[in-house]
Amino acid sequence: MFRKILKKLVILIVVAGASGLLGVPAGFAVLGKLQIVLLDQEPFYFPASINLQAGQIVQWENRSMQSHTITHDGCGERKGCIFHSGHLQPGEQFTVSELPPGYYPYHCNIHPFMRGLIVVEREPSQNFNSTEL
């Protein structure tokens, strides 16, 4: 009973942190990287959807008890394979950098029901009108 309550409390804390309720934005920064955590239950990729600026780095960490992959949906199709981690064992990490602006849906090849999305936005424009000063 205690384990069940503790497990739900941990999930609540993680969800609250990702939603910004604890002052930690979704896709929290770790050493200048945005991090996604792999879990043993829903949401399997946490957060399941993440927005990046062009040039930012994203890192997955497998905190589950199983092997998983992080595989771009275009792998094996004519769209082209943008990233594929291979088998990521518990405790291992996988990092992707320099993604151009766009949508990058991904999944686990071992567990196809595990799905995530990376949205890479253009860097904010540095243009301004000098008359606005």
Read off the pLDDT of residues 83-111 as tens digits, 9 standing for 90 and up: 999 999 999 999 999 899 999 999 999 99
Residue 27: pLDDT over 50: no
Question: What percentage of the chain exceeds 70 in pLDDT?
Answer: 68
Select from 81, 82, 80, 88 the least CA-distant residue to 114: 88
More confident residue, 76 or 13: 76
Residue 121 φ then ψ, to 5°: -100, 155
Residue 44: pLDDT over 50: yes
Burial 118-128 (b: 16+ CB within 10 A, else e): bebeeeeeeee
Cβ within 8 Å of residue 58, ≥6 positions away = 27, 33, 34, 35, 36, 50, 52, 95, 96, 97, 99, 118
User: Hey, what CATH class is 25-123 in?
Assistant: mainly beta
Digit-coded pLDDT (tens) for 108-123: 999 999 999 999 998 7
When pLDDT is cut at 50, 70 and 90, the band that residue 21 belongs to is very low
In the structure encoding, which two tokens stand for residue 96, read together?
A: 């992707």
Average pLDDT over residues 44-55: 93
| pTM attached to this predicted model | 0.69
